[in-house]
């Protein structure tokens, strides 16, 4: 019996074929045409990128920290600086968007305006202003919403000290043609360059964003599109899919990583993109 089992094992494994894919932008192993083990996808040789581990069922993204934030110096001036820990929130932006700014969904306001405010060392948001062209009544309503919304933030940290920072939130609404505002959304004021996230590919997939000192808040993201360097990460609860787009030798290629529904645990790296309402099919991937 032992001899027979050993023979069958040799017979089955002898037909397996392993192909090593070694290209400048993608590396990994195919066993009988199926990806196995660790795969690396990057924009250029040696650059940070995606690591897909088929043995553990996880995807990791590693990026370079290029994030800079407006920090108030001791002399009262504002300077762009890297922070040890960026300012973040306990749901304040989500509450502001979902409960206090719904009025913009009922008017034809096809522009982005920026709600700009300071986060003091005590974690309170102060001194709101509106950047961008908008009627006075729209500006007044946004300031009113800011005043009524929960004001519960965590101050930024630099050199182990809390610092005053400035935050900008784009407020968007489009009723018919959303192409203009979509293009603006793809150019955020603040570049969030450092990110490390894991996508679990089990029966209940979860995407986790993690950065040093980040505060995770569990939410479900619908039709969200995020950009990290030259890679695009696209996920959609509606279509139950996760797509990873990366540059290859023959141009941009798209790889479907997982088809399933999932939950997103959110940090600042979900960025400050909030599309309040869009009735156009052109917005299906935003």
Burial class (CB in 10 A: 0-12, 13-18, 19+), 253: middle
Residue 103 lies in a domain: yes
From 190, 216, 240, the end of a domain falls on 190
Evaluate whether residue 153 is within a structural domain. Answer: yes
The confidence score (pLDDT) of residue 80 equals: 82
One DSSP character per residue, 114-178 reads EEEEEE-TTS-EEEEEEES---HHHHHHHHHHHHHS---EE-EEETTEEE-EEEEEEEEEESS--
Which stretches of the chain score pLDDT less than 70?
1-15, 24-25, 42-50, 56-67, 88-112, 150, 170-286
Whole-number Å distance between alpha carbons of 50 and 225: 16
Question: Both 126 and 215 in a single domain?
Answer: no
| 119 lies in the same domain as 229 | no
Are 45 and 185 contained in the same domain? no
**Do 92 and 182 reside in the same domain of the chain?**
yes
Residues 87 and 138 grouped into a single domain: yes
Looking at the domain assignment, is residue 8 inside a domain?
Answer: no
Element (H, E) at 241: strand 241-248
If asked whether residues 186 and 84 sit together in one domain, one would say yes
Give the per-residue pLDDT at 175. 46
Same domain for 207 and 115? no
User: What is the domain range of residue 137?
Assistant: 69-190
* Domain endpoint, select from 172, 190, 208: 190
The CATH number linked to 137 is: 3.30.1150
Number of domains in the chain: 2
Query: Domain boundary at 190, 213, 244, which?
Result: 190
What's the pTM value of the predicted model, to 2 decimals? 0.43
Residues 93 and 154 in one domain: yes
Res 143: pLDDT: 83
Structure tokens, 61 = 């993204």
Residue 150 domain-assigned (yes or no): yes
Specify the pLDDT at position 27: 80
Is there a domain that residue 34 lies in?
yes
275 in any annotated domain: no
- Give the model's pLDDT for residue 66: 61
Per-residue pLDDT, 110 = 54
Per-residue pLDDT, 192: 30
**H or E segment to which residue 5 belongs:** helix 2-13
Residues 130 and 154 grouped into a single domain: yes
Q: Are 67 and 86 in contact (CB under 8 A)?
A: yes
State how far Cα 174 lies from the chain centre: 22
Per-residue model confidence (pLDDT) at position 172: 56
Spell out the residues 6+ positions from residue 168 whose beta carbon is closer than 8 angstroms to its own: 114, 115, 116, 131, 189, 190, 272
Q: Is residue 168 part of a domain?
A: yes
Q: What is the pLDDT of residue 116?
A: 82
What pLDDT is attached to residue 228? 33
Q: What is the pLDDT of residue 262?
A: 33
| 52 within domain boundaries | yes
Q: How far apart are CA 220 and CA 167, in angstroms?
A: 23
Specify whether the CB–CB gap between 30 and 36 falls below 8 A. Answer: yes
List pLDDT tens digits, range 36-60.
888 777 655 555 566 777 776 666 6
* Contact predicate 172/112, CB 8 Å: yes
């Amino acid at each position: 019996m032992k001899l027979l089992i050993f023979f069958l094992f040799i017979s089955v494994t002898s037909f397996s074929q392993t192909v090593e894919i070694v290209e400048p932008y993608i590396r990994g192993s195919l066993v009988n045409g199926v990806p196995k083990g660790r795969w690396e996808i990057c924009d250029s040789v040696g650059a940070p990128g995606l690591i897909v581990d088929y043995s553990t069922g996880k995807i990791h993204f590693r990026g370079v920290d290029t994030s800079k934030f407006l920090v108030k110096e001791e002399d009262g001036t504002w300077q762009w600086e890297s922070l040890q820990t960026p300012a973040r929130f306990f749901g304040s932006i989500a509450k502001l968007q979902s409960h206090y700014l719904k009025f913009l969904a009922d008017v034809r306001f096809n522009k982005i305006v920026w709600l700009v405010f300071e986060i003091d060392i005590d974690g309170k948001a102060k001194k709101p202003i509106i950047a961008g062209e908008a009627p006075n009544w729209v500006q007044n309503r946004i300031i009113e919403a800011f005043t009524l919304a929960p004001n519960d933030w965590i101050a930024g940290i630099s050199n182990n000290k809390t610092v005053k920072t400035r935050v900008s939130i784009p407020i968007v609404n489009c009723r018919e043609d959303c192409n203009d505002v979509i293009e603006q959304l793809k150019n955020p004021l603040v570049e969030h360059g450092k990110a490390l996230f894991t996508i679990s590919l089990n029966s209940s997939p979860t995407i986790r964003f993690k950065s040093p000192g980040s505060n995770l808040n569990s939410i479900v993201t619908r039709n969200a599109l995020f950009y990290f360097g030259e890679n695009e990460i696209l996920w959609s609860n509606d279509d139950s899919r996760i797509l990873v787009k990366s540059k290859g030798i023959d141009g941009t290629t798209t790889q479907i990583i997982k088809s399933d529904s999932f939950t997103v645990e959110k940090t600042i790296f979900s960025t400050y993109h909030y599309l309040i309402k869009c009735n156009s099919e052109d917005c299906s991937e935003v």
